[in-house]
Structure 1
Amino acid sequence: MNFKIILLLFVIGLFPIMFDNSYAQITSGGFGQSPFERDFGDVKFLDAYFGTLNDKIEVEAGDSNVPFTVVFANVGTQDITGIRGQLSLPFNFSPSDGPGSVIHADSDSNSLAGENFHLTFFVNINENSQIQQYPGTVKVDYSRLRESGVRTAFADFDFKVTGDSVINVKAQEPFLTSLRTNNVVIEIANDGTAPISGVDIVATNTSTELASTSSSTTNVENVVILESSWDVGNIDAKSARYLTATVYVPESLKGDTLRIPLSIQYYNAHGDLHEISKIVDFYIKGLIDLTIFNVDVIELSGTQMVIGEIINEGNEDGLFGFVSIESKGDSNIKSATQFIDEIEIDAPVPFNVPIEFDGEPKYGEHDITITVRYKDSTRDEIFLTHDQTITVTEPSNGDENGTDPTMIIIPIILVLAAAFYIIRRRKKASIQTS
């Protein structure tokens, strides 16, 4: 009786072991009900993604002949050989070597016990595919060393069409002015279909870096940049972020192109850290710094005129200059304009605009606006305004037989104007010749 009871207990104890062994043969590869199951002697699925073994890549709809890698581990105690794989993906994906539902990869290599191995398939992605997660199935055939026959393992997995991130940079205003501090805005745009995150940007090859480099690839070391690194954060697909910098440009760079190299680090849709280099270009203009002064009213031959001078304290001539006067408030002075040509940096430029009234003349104080209109070296039109209060007096009616002082003043002014014009032209000719 005791013998029967002991035998019954022994059979009951062996039953789970027999069941486990049978289950292990069915689920070859370690793919059981739990992701932590591992059956020795089989292969175990680890990862599946677009790219090669050491480089995951971003893909989007319409990409063709894209590598798709599946990584396994040989979790058994024996080496395996003759590894071959078949990949089954949804209808939006097809083999790159022709139509068919199954994509083949042939490794024919060995995998040592305890080591990882991979299979790489080449896939076409349909143009109608969405950026999302998809299911897939892989089949692996292999043989154990010193053992006849072929074993098979299956694995179901999910993979993602990530989209592709495309990073471009550009300056919002591509012109800088020498002898001045410039507020620079740079656009960092993600023109792709995949978001990027953790974006950090550094202006490289600055004067602090030159101590450890033998030569400079740009002229950025000749300017002063108050900010050199920026934490931009995340940039969604088809969107942009902006960074600002304060740049001082010396006079010596006038007419040059300033090239600022940027090192951009970011995490792509796979979560991998990438680093790329971009360059932002700026054209450096000269400085035109105008001031209007010595504004007054004089009378010439019975005509009163608004006179004044313009001084250019910059390092570049203003081109195609005009001076205009306009009335303000209750003034009835008509608008008038005078062409003054170039506004050079070496001497004040005089102007004189006749005063005419709209209706009956009003004498006394008038509020006017003086506007200087000119162009810079890039042919952008610039306006300088100056508000002024002038006093217009009633023209004097002197003795007709007496000597008219204007008959003396006018020739003097004409001679001085002619001499000033000749001196300017000769100076410009000598400068151009040299």
Structure 2
Amino acid sequence: MNSKIILSLFVIGLLPIIFNNSYAQITSGGFGQSPFERDFGDVKFLDAYFGTINEKIEVEAGDSNVPFTVVFANVGTQDITGIRGQLSLPFGFSASDGPGAVIHADSDSNSLAGENFHLTFFVNIDNNAQIQQYPGTVKVDYSRLRESGVRTAFANFDFKVTGDGVINVKAQEPFLTSLRSNHVVIEIANDGTAPLSGVDITATNTQTELASTSSSTTNIENVVILESSWDIGNIPPKTVKYLTATVYVPQSLKGDTLRIPLLISYYNTHGDLHQISKIVDFYIKGLIDLRIFNVDVIELSGNQMVIGEIINEGNEDGLFGFVSIESKGDSNIKSSTQFIDEIETDAPVPFNIPIEFDGEPQYGEHDITITVRYKDSTRDEIFLNHDATITVKAPSNEDENSTDPTMIIIPIILVLGAAFYIIRRRKKATIEAN
């Protein structure tokens, strides 16, 4: 009797072991009761990240329906099939089907022995989620070929909300001038929430590149850029870096838009290399190059005037021109302005400004500044200053209001001559009559 009781208890004790071996239920992440005990029928966790099996992506708070991929390896000696996954994430993350829904995975139907497989979940990220590391758990159900029952593996892992790097470029000064070298400053901004590392920038479609290409996408081949590549380094979130270049623009591009394509290479927060293309646009202005010369003082109708000429050595007319004189130092010459309209490129433009004094006239040398004010084709106002020394002469001591004696004497002489001629004609006529 006792032997029967002992045998019954022995059989009851073996039942859990028999059923456990039959269904091969794994509850410790694929490592049995100890991390050093390997069950070759398990799957091994490899990686977990936002993105697909082909590409990791950067995410930030508020993103929805984002792919989340967990990668495993089939480390067993048999193929597995019927793979199903379920994901457990902390507060702030939910299934794309809505809050409270179970996060199930799209998955491969089977995995060969020794091969990797992946589970892709789709997740919504709460607007209040922080850019930091979070814990997660994944459950994998699968079956081995030629074996009944379902095996289950669990894996705990850490993942990160990386933030999203966003690159924008723009020129600090969007205007270039033809027929001269321009110092160009381009702003490279990271407007995102993730840092950009190892940023390198190259100006593409240049004259050097055209040697190996059949066509051009921009008109940059018509200009000369002394620098074509820049090592920017790291750009933290919400910060700006700058690159500088020297660009010479020919006359033929006056009035056109110059498009400079930039190839930007950088490493994202996953350590993956990315390349994007951006274009910086510039408007090409004509050159207005003024020079003032032949400054002098002349007397006209009893008034002394500052005269001079302005020559435009550029390729575009200056608009709405004004010329002003201002005194310098001890000079008491009043400021005065003259409107000269357009300053053309084909001929000098003269100016003449009357001299007036603030108080008593001072004769002799005066230091003055001549200012030419005009606008270019973009209606920006430009000033050109020219310092000069002029000599103002004192007027003659003669009374300017007195009558010139010659103006009186000459008419008298003419009248006397005419009278004398008339008298002689009358005498002669009388003599001939007698």
Normalising by structure 1, we get a TM-score of 0.85
Alpha-carbon contact 1:30-1:43 (below 8 Å) kept: no
State the shift of 1:210 in Å: 1.1
SS at match of 1:55: coil
Alpha-carbon contact 1:38-1:75 (below 8 Å) kept: no
Identity of aligned residues (%): 86
Question: Which residue in 2 is equivalent to 1:347?
Answer: 347
SS at match of 1:384: strand
Cα distance in 2 for partners of 1:402, 1:70 equals: 117
Question: Which residue in 2 is equivalent to 1:53?
Answer: 53
Q: Over residues 196-250 of structure 1, what are the superposed CA-to-partner deviations in whole Å (9 max), with x where a residue is unaligned? A: 0000000001111112211111000000000000000000100110000000111
Would the alpha carbon gap of residues 147 and 376 (structure 1) be closer, same or farther in structure 2, given more than 3 Å must change? same
AA aligned to 1:276 is: I
Alpha-carbon contact 2:326-2:335 (below 8 Å) kept: yes
Alpha-carbon contact 1:28-1:39 (below 8 Å) kept: no
Question: Which residue in 2 is equivalent to 1:117?
Answer: 117
Question: Which residue in 2 is equivalent to 1:266?
Answer: 266
AA aligned to 1:200 is: D
Alpha-carbon contact 1:31-1:155 (below 8 Å) kept: no
SS at match of 2:110: coil
Would the alpha carbon gap of residues 147 and 381 (structure 1) be closer, same or farther in structure 2, given more than 3 Å must change? same
Question: Which residue in 1 is equivalent to 2:160?
Answer: 160
AA aligned to 1:282 is: F
1:393 to 2:396 alignment: no
Question: Which residue in 1 is equivalent to 2:185?
Answer: 185
Greater radius of gyration (CA)? 2
Cα distance in 1 for partners of 2:321, 2:26 equals: 93
Question: Which residue in 2 is equivalent to 1:364?
Answer: 364
Question: Which residue in 2 is equivalent to 1:311?
Answer: 311
Would the alpha carbon gap of residues 170 and 106 (structure 1) be closer, same or farther in structure 2, given more than 3 Å must change? closer
Cα distance in 1 for partners of 2:265, 2:34 equals: 41
SS at match of 1:86: strand
Q: Over residues 101-142 of structure 1, what are the superposed CA-to-partner deviations in whole Å (9 max), with x where a residue is unaligned? A: 641114360100000000000100000000111000000000
Tell me the C-alpha RMSD between the 2 structures: 1.9
State the shift of 1:30 in Å: 3.6
Cα distance in 2 for partners of 1:33, 1:402 equals: 134
Cα distance in 2 for partners of 1:401, 1:108 equals: 119
Question: Which residue in 2 is equivalent to 1:138?
Answer: 138
Question: Which residue in 1 is equivalent to 2:417?
Answer: none
Cα distance in 2 for partners of 1:247, 1:43 equals: 59
SS at match of 1:212: coil
1:82-231 alignment runs, 5 A limit: 82-100=82-100, 102-107=102-107, 109-231=109-231
Cα distance in 1 for partners of 2:55, 2:140 equals: 22
Cα distance in 1 for partners of 2:88, 2:405 equals: 113
AA aligned to 1:271 is: G
AA aligned to 2:234 is: N
Alpha-carbon contact 2:26-2:152 (below 8 Å) kept: no
AA aligned to 2:111 is: S
Cα distance in 2 for partners of 1:233, 1:403 equals: 90
Question: Which residue in 2 is equivalent to 1:420?
Answer: none
Alpha-carbon contact 2:77-2:114 (below 8 Å) kept: yes
SS at match of 1:208: helix
Cα distance in 2 for partners of 1:81, 1:224 equals: 62
Alpha-carbon contact 1:80-1:113 (below 8 Å) kept: yes
Would the alpha carbon gap of residues 31 and 162 (structure 1) be closer, same or farther in structure 2, given more than 3 Å must change? farther
SS at match of 2:147: coil
SS at match of 2:207: coil
SS at match of 2:221: helix
The unaligned stretches of length 5 or more in structure 2 are 1-20, 408-434
Q: Over residues 26-62 of structure 1, what are the superposed CA-to-partner deviations in whole Å (9 max), with x where a residue is unaligned? A: 535248765x874311100000011111111111101
State the shift of 1:98 in Å: 2.1
Alpha-carbon contact 2:179-2:249 (below 8 Å) kept: yes
The unaligned stretches of length 5 or more in structure 1 are 1-20, 405-434
Alpha-carbon contact 1:206-1:221 (below 8 Å) kept: yes
Question: Which residue in 2 is equivalent to 1:417?
Answer: none
AA aligned to 1:220 is: I
Would the alpha carbon gap of residues 26 and 301 (structure 1) be closer, same or farther in structure 2, given more than 3 Å must change? closer
Would the alpha carbon gap of residues 197 and 117 (structure 1) be closer, same or farther in structure 2, given more than 3 Å must change? same
State the shift of 1:400 in Å: 4.0
Alpha-carbon contact 2:327-2:333 (below 8 Å) kept: yes
SS at match of 1:49: strand
State the shift of 1:274 in Å: 0.3
State the shift of 1:300 in Å: 1.0
Would the alpha carbon gap of residues 294 and 208 (structure 1) be closer, same or farther in structure 2, given more than 3 Å must change? same
Alpha-carbon contact 1:88-1:101 (below 8 Å) kept: no
SS at match of 1:357: coil
Cα distance in 2 for partners of 1:382, 1:331 equals: 26
SS at match of 2:84: strand
Cα distance in 1 for partners of 2:176, 2:37 equals: 65
Alpha-carbon contact 1:68-1:121 (below 8 Å) kept: yes
Alpha-carbon contact 2:29-2:155 (below 8 Å) kept: no
Question: Which residue in 2 is equivalent to 1:27?
Answer: 28
Would the alpha carbon gap of residues 278 and 120 (structure 1) be closer, same or farther in structure 2, given more than 3 Å must change? same
Would the alpha carbon gap of residues 88 and 24 (structure 1) be closer, same or farther in structure 2, given more than 3 Å must change? closer
State the shift of 1:185 in Å: 0.4
Cα distance in 1 for partners of 2:113, 2:40 equals: 10
Alpha-carbon contact 1:89-1:101 (below 8 Å) kept: no
Question: Which residue in 2 is equivalent to 1:39?
Answer: 39
Question: Which residue in 2 is equivalent to 1:285?
Answer: 285
> How many residues get paired?
382
AA aligned to 1:293 is: F
